[in-house]
């Protein structure tokens, strides 16, 4: 992430059509996607670029039952249950402005932007000013790449963008901050983004053998942001983030 930010400021923006041409060339050096075709079909690079609206007017806001509800609540193991039992809301990192991470970040009720370049896709989130870089050029993570948002690689496959992210650091609310479910450095998140008419859809799947008995997933949607909308700075304020902690009945003394 740190490395990618400096590159982005120097980077040049390409159109999705241009990306399609360059990606076709780049594809020769990328492991083939698991499809029956020998070459990417026409339109294999979907136009996902733009600012997308995920605010409460578009989808129900996140909560203890959304997006992880009765139908898809993760099957957690005993280790996770132990963490959940001792979890103390007051230590949740968000009260000190630590950003949420996949799979929670994608469902935060704010705008987000997708930029498609030939060698990468940029996922920029209004919430907490987060930027994720999805590398399309075949690079692999190193031990230097562990970070809060992990390390992401991607590929286009049958009109969808597939993002695979690992190299996360342990996060006490890294799976879900409403239910206090942690995630480990073994968390792996697979995201599939595609267009459904004018909407953007995504299925987010999480694996984490340290805490989950099996992968869990949810599917969500965004609509195009109002014309001319620009992402606003979040500038999380530490006084504001922690101001309500005094209202909790203390769990520990």
Partner 1 sequence: MNVQRWMVAAGAVAAIAVLERAAPLVAHHATTAFYDASRKVEAQGTVTKFLFKNPHAFLYFNSTDGSGQTIEWQIELGSPLNLARTGWTPDTLKPGMDIKVAGQPSRAEGTHGICCATITRPDGSPVAPGARLQEEPRR
Chain Cα centroid distance, residue 130? 10
Contact between 61 and partner 1 (CB under 8 A)?
Answer: yes
Could you give the string, one character per residue 229-248, with x where binding to partner 1 holds by CB under 8 A and - elsewhere? Answer: ---x-xxxx-xxx-xx-xxx
Among 64, 81, 82, 86, binds partner 1 (CB under 8 A): 64
The DSSP symbol for 149 reads T
Contact between 224 and partner 1 (CB under 8 A)?
Answer: no
Least separation in angstroms between CB 80 and partner 1: 19
Q: Helix, strand, coil shares of the chain as percentages rounded to 5?
A: 20, 30, 45
User: 103 to 162, contacts with partner 1 by CB under 8 A?
Assistant: 108-110, 126
* C-alpha separations of 219 from 45, 115, 139, 157, 190 in Å: 20, 21, 28, 18, 12
Q: Between residues 18 and 56, which has the closer beta carbon with respect to partner 1?
A: 56
Beta strands in 24-79 (DSSP E): 50-53
Q: Which two tokens stand for residue 28?
A: 């020769």
Task: Using CB under 8 A, count the residues that bind partner 1.
Answer: 35
Contact between 92 and partner 1 (CB under 8 A)?
Answer: yes
Among 65, 72, 144, 219, binds partner 1 (CB under 8 A): 65
Q: Give the binding range for partner 1 (CB under 8 A) out of 33-41, 89-97, 205-213, 215-223.
A: 89-97
Least separation in angstroms between CB 55 and partner 1: 7
Q: Which two tokens stand for residue 16?
A: 């999705």
Least separation in angstroms between CB 36 and partner 1: 42
> By the 8 A CB rule, do 185 and 170 touch?
yes
Peptide bond into 67 cis (omega under 30): yes
Contact between 55 and partner 1 (CB under 8 A)?
Answer: yes
Among 89, 157, 164, 207, binds partner 1 (CB under 8 A): 89
Q: Between residues 46 and 74, which has the closer beta carbon with respect to partner 1?
A: 74
133-144 burial code (b ≥16 CB/10 A, e <16)? bbbbeeeebeee
Least separation in angstroms between CB 243 and partner 1: 5
Among 33, 178, 185, 194, binds partner 1 (CB under 8 A): 178
Alpha helices in the chain (DSSP H): 2-10, 16-26, 78-86, 238-242
d(CA 112, CA 203): 16
Q: Between residues 146 and 178, which has the closer beta carbon with respect to partner 1?
A: 178
CB atoms within 10 A of CB 25: 9
> By the 8 A CB rule, do 113 and 124 touch?
yes
Contact between 250 and partner 1 (CB under 8 A)?
Answer: yes
List contacts with partner 1 (CB under 8 A).
55-56, 60-66, 89, 92, 94-95, 97, 108-110, 126, 177-178, 232, 234-237, 239-241, 243-244, 246-250
């Amino acid at each position: 992430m740190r490395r990618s930010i400096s590159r982005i400021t120097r980077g040049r923006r390409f159109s999705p059509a241009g990306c399609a041409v360059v990606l076709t060339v780049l594809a020769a050096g990328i492991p083939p996607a698991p499809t029956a075709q020998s070459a990417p079909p026409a339109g294999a690079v979907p136009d996902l670029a733009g600012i997308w609206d995920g605010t409460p007017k578009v989808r129900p806001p996140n909560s203890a039952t959304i997006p992880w509800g009765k139908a898809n609540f993760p099957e957690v193991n005993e280790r996770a249950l132990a963490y959940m039992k001792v979890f103390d809301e007051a230590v949740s990192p968000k009260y000190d402005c630590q950003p949420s991470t996949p799979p929670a970040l994608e469902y935060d009720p704010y705008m987000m932007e997708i930029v498609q370049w030939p060698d990468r896709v940029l996922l920029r989130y209004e919430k907490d000013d987060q930027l994720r870089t999805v590398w399309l050029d075949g690079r692999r993570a190193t031990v230097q790449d562990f970070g809060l948002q992990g390390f992401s690689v991607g590929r286009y496959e049958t009109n969808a963008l597939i993002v695979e992210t690992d190299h996360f650091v342990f996060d006490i609310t890294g799976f879900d901050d409403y239910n206090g479910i942690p995630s480990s450095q073994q968390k792996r998140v697979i995201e599939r983004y595609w267009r459904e008419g004018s909407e953007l859809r995504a299925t987010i799947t999480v694996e984490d053998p340290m805490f989950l008995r099996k992968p869990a997933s949810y599917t969500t949607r965004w609509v195009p942001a109002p014309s001319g909308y620009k992402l606003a700075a979040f500038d999380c304020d530490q006084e504001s983030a922690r101001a309500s902690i005094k209202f909790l009945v203390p769990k520990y003394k």
